[in-house]
């Protein structure tokens, strides 16, 4: 076996690959998760504030009647999971489309299409009260700060390992030069 085949004599970069791309992907993912959490929380809080509003009473009653009819069908004749799932999806999609249509007609808050969802998210956030906005913002800032801190710790650990391996290479090279 030649010396160059010995794994310990290989360069550090070959023995310990650099995983900086993984750290950066982790940072981007964590920031996107924090932002996604804020968007979901905004939509949920808005929906919870408006779902019992008299403006949507007839839609809510129609939805509940459809769910009751489905329950009766399940009890009387039985249904497969696939059929139940399909029927529930139909009921919920019908409810959501009607809710979003009325919301746009009566309040001007958008919900459809990519730009409509982005604009609608801001409109929903803007319509929330002063007691709920800080909850969303604080949670997002906290999540993002934790993600950035985690990234910094992992990056520091990675840098320290790289420095340590570089030092090992220099020491191995010095030993090799002295042995000549």
How do the pLDDT tens digits run along the chain, 180 residues long? 445 566 656 665 665 556 667 777 877 887 888 888 889 989 888 888 888 889 999 999 999 999 999 999 999 988 889 999 999 999 999 999 999 999 999 989 998 888 988 998 999 988 887 877 888 888 888 888 887 787 777 777 777 777 777 787 788 788 878 877
Number of neighbours of residue 42 by Cβ within 10 angstroms: 23
Domain encompassing residue 125: 13-169
Please check whether residue 175 lies inside any domain of the structure: no
**Quick one: which of 44, 45, 29 has its CA closest to 144?**
29
In this prediction, residue 59 carries a pLDDT of: 93
**Quick one: which of 137, 142, 112, 140 has its CA closest to 126?**
137
Please check whether residue 4 lies inside any domain of the structure: no
> Helix, strand, coil proportions of the chain in percent (round to 5)?
85, 0, 15
Please check whether residue 133 lies inside any domain of the structure: yes
Please check whether residue 180 lies inside any domain of the structure: no
In angstroms, the CA 177 to CA 85 distance is 72
What is the DSSP code (8-state) at residue 56?
Answer: G
Residue 67 has which token pair? 């769910």
Quote the number of domains for the chain: 1
In angstroms, the CA 72 to CA 78 distance is 9
In this prediction, residue 91 carries a pLDDT of: 95
Please check whether residue 7 lies inside any domain of the structure: no
In this prediction, residue 163 carries a pLDDT of: 75
Please check whether residue 23 lies inside any domain of the structure: yes
In this prediction, residue 15 carries a pLDDT of: 57
CA triplet 92, 119, 105: central angle to 5 degrees? 60
Please check whether residue 174 lies inside any domain of the structure: no
């Amino acid at each position: 076996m030649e010396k160059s085949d010995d794994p310990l004599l290989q360069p550090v970069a070959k023995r310990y690959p650099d995983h900086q791309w993984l750290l950066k992907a982790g940072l981007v993912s964590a920031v996107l998760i924090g932002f996604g959490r804020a968007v979901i929380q905004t939509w949920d809080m808005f929906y919870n504030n408006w779902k019992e509003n008299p403006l949507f009473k007839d839609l809510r009653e129609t939805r509940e009647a459809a769910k009751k009819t489905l329950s009766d069908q399940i009890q009387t004749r039985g249904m497969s999971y696939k059929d139940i799932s399909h029927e529930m999806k139909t009921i919920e999609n019908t409810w959501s489309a009607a809710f979003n249509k009325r919301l746009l007609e009566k309040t001007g808050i958008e919900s459809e299409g990519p730009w409509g969802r982005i604009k609608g998210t801001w409109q929903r956030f803007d319509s929330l009260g002063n007691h709920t906005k800080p909850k969303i913002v604080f949670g997002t800032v906290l999540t993002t700060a934790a993600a950035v801190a985690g990234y910094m710790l992992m990056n520091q650990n990675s840098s320290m390992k790289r420095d340590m391996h570089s030092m090992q290479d220099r020491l191995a090279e010095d030993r090799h030069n002295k042995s000549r």
